[in-house]
Amino acid sequence: MIGLCTAILVVSALYFARTVFAPMAFALFTIALVWPLQSSLQSRLPKLVALAISVLATVVIVLVFGSIIVWGFGRVGRHLVSDAARFQMLYGQTVGWLEGHGIVVAGLWAEHFNVGWLVRLFQQLTARINATLSFSLVVLIYIILGLLEVDTIADKLRRLANKEIGKVLLVGGIETAAKFRRYMLVRTLMSIMTGGLVWGFAYLADLRLAAEWGVIAFALNYIPFIGPLVATVFPTLFAITQFESWQMAVTVFACLNLIQFLVGSYLEPRIAGSALSMSPFLVLFAVFFWTFLWGIAGAFIGVPIVIAVLTLCEQHPRSRWLADLLGGPDTKKA
């Protein structure tokens, strides 16, 4: 009961104080990625100059990534608004066909799911993107302060009175950072491959907005399970209106899912190896759980948080069983 109550209190704190904890989690994740560059630079340059270069490089990468995402979603959103009448007509035909075959749920869809809802969805997405500016500023401040204290915190952990806890946190932190960098490298390579294949297929299939679908597939691939699903559903809906053929829409949906399966379920596990191996059930739970707590930010950071928890559990004999239990089938037993 004590453990259950503690877990409930921790989850409640994470939810209600998400404006504090979410930026901190992103900052720690980014610090782990940027630290090799910062460490290399500060061995040759003054610490503040190295910090300025590291932060500038991070900001440029984030701005380029964000601009690409905004461009892709913005183009699709404008196309959706300009072609709203056609979408509404097709939607009405679909509802009529479903009701003609006795599918009563069509009435519920007609009330809650229509083109206006899709337009509002894209508008809300744009508003969320604008709201991330303040979030990013807080994260940036955390990153600057955190990069300045990495060496200090490492020294404090080495001199900690409880040597066992100090070693667990120090070694676990180093290994977690290494896994974060490998995770982002693999995820980025797979996202680029997915985006390229989606663009190539959309171009060959003469699907409008081929480049935009490739960009969206690239961006959403950073969110396991949910991202690839969304990246296949929306092009399929647009294919229905463009080709006015269910057969072509099914072909588009099947081919996009085949791309996602080959890259995500076949290539990625072989490239990532056992270091990032986790139970698929745990990955899916992490995405939904952290999405519930922190929204879109949680969907992105959920899996890295689980990687950090499992890596820290591996460092202590009393908690190693949890890492062995929740890790993937290839996880090494210590």
For the segment 125-142, the average pLDDT, to the nearest whole number, is: 77
Is residue 141's pLDDT more than 70? yes
Q: What is the pLDDT of residue 332?
A: 44
Mean pLDDT (whole number) for 282-298: 87
- Which of 40-54, 95-109, 135-149, 266-280 has the weakest average pLDDT? 95-109
Say if residues 256 and 227 touch (Cβ distance below 8 Å): no
pLDDT at 91 over 70: no
pLDDT of residue 334: 38
Residues 278-301, mean pLDDT to the nearest whole number: 85
AA identity, residue 213: W
Q: Give one word for 176, left, alpha or beta, with left for phi > 0 and alpha for psi -120 to 50.
A: alpha
Which pLDDT belongs to residue 255? 93
Q: Mean pLDDT across the chain, nearest whole number?
A: 82
Residue 80 CA to residue 118 CA, distance in Å, equals: 8
Mean pLDDT computed over 49-57: 94
CB 287 within 8 A of CB 226: yes
Cα first-last separation, the chain: 31
304-327 pLDDT tens trace: 999 998 888 888 888 888 877 777
pLDDT attached to residue 317: 82
CA–CA separation, 197 and 179 (whole Å): 27
pTM metric for this prediction: 0.81
